[in-house]
Structure 1
Amino acid sequence: MKKKYKEEPIINERIKYPRVRLIDVLGTQLGIYSSEEALQLAIQKGLDLVMISDKSEPPVCRIIDYGKYKFAQEKKAKEAKKKQHNASIKEVKMRYKIEEHDYKVRLNQTLRFLQAGDKVKVTVIFRGREIQHLNLAMELLNKMAQDLINIANIQQSPSRDGKNMIMILSPQKIKS
């Protein structure tokens, strides 16, 4: 399978347009030149002629050091990728008649997931005839939501899902 590379910009002799809008190293617009003249200016300065945009008429070209330009673009792409966080859904399961210590453990687990930026699906599991005690499960989920009110938003309020009752929490956006 071939790797997909981002399309490389057109540089130097590969620019086939008769006229181009030229921008120098400092970002100053120099005007409209023929491709040959623009390339000669770039060569005189020991730099490259790089097509920035072919969407306009005439296309925009810039005189820059292509190696440095390419390095800067790759660095920007890496930084953007680092800042990207894909929030996944983590699940915390418990029974409606959970002991206090076990509840605290599940609460801390949920807290860790939320602080990591993940959504949390809190599930209360029923077995057999326990399904009659929906009100107790609802109280338990509401208690958890109340305990996490400062760091979590209820994305989906407690609802019955087969023999389970679920609630989905998402981390609050930090206001800066």
Structure 2
Amino acid sequence: MINEQIRDREVRLIGTDGEQLGIMSAREAMKLAQEAELDLVKIAPGAKPPVCKIIDYGKYKYEQTRKEKEAKKKQRTVEIKEVRLSPNIDTNDLNTKMNNAKKFISKGNKVKVTLRFRGREMAHVQQSKHILDDFAKMLEDVAVVEKAAKLEGRNMSMVLTERR
């Protein structure tokens, strides 16, 4: 809220250079802001009494958007990449999938390793669990298991993340 939008009886006023001017009526604060040819901006509406500051509103808004943009730049989204395996995978294929997973993890992403069972392969679920265990063991120098292997329908999956 700025200038005439402030309807409170009393406000705590902060001057242009950050010094406390004390508690006064909103009209007096508005007069002081007009004398300084600046805006009266409510910066802490939840406080008792609300805190207002005499500043250039355009400049204040610009600074806020700049801070938000800066915070957004530093923010990083973590994607979940998926590596699909089958119970009768060969060693060379497994190594290729492992290299892909290493690449994903080194870029800072999480990797979901899924073991898909089709048809009669469902009868040998427990014997195939070792594939996921071996996969995790071979990547233990770069990754740690975030979510252990779990059977969900016809898929067994686990999640790996970067080792800190």
Q: Give the TM bin, normalised by the shorter chain.
A: 0.7 to 0.9
In structure 2, runs of 5+ residues without a counterpart are none
Aligned amino acid, residue 155 of structure 1: E
1:87 match = 78
1:78 match = 69
Residues 121 and 34 of structure 1: CA distance in aligned 2, closer, same or farther (over 3 Å) = same
1:38 match = 29
Aligned amino acid, residue 15 of structure 2: D
Residue 98 (structure 1) aligned with residue 97 (structure 2) = no
SS of 1:146 mapped into structure 2: helix
The normalised TM-score by structure 1 is: 0.79
1:126 match = 117
In structure 1, runs of 5+ residues without a counterpart are 1-9
1:3 match = none
Aligned amino acid, residue 145 of structure 1: A
Distance 1:108 1:72 in 2: 45
Aligned amino acid, residue 48 of structure 1: D
Residue 155 (structure 1) aligned with residue 161 (structure 2) = no
Distance 2:11 2:152 in 1: 63
2:102 match = 111
1:7 match = none
Distance 2:154 2:30 in 1: 72
Is the 1:137–1:165 Cα contact (8 Å) retained in structure 2? no
2:40 match = 49
Residues 151 and 28 of structure 1: CA distance in aligned 2, closer, same or farther (over 3 Å) = farther
1:131-152 CA-partner distances (Å, limit 9, x unpaired): 4444553222112212222332
- The structural deviation recorded for 1:22 is 0.5
Residues 59 and 95 of structure 1: CA distance in aligned 2, closer, same or farther (over 3 Å) = same
What is the total number of aligned residue pairs between the two structures?
164
Distance 2:26 2:120 in 1: 81
Residues 142 and 48 of structure 1: CA distance in aligned 2, closer, same or farther (over 3 Å) = same
2:157 match = 166
2:2 match = 11
1:137 match = 128
Residues 164 and 19 of structure 1: CA distance in aligned 2, closer, same or farther (over 3 Å) = closer
Aligned amino acid, residue 140 of structure 1: I
Q: Which moved more, 1:65-74 or 1:90-99?
A: 90-99
1:116-172 CA-partner distances (Å, limit 9, x unpaired): 433322112233333444455322211221222233221222233333322222334
Distance 2:24 2:3 in 1: 14
Distance 1:81 1:14 in 2: 30
Percentage of pairs with the same residue: 45
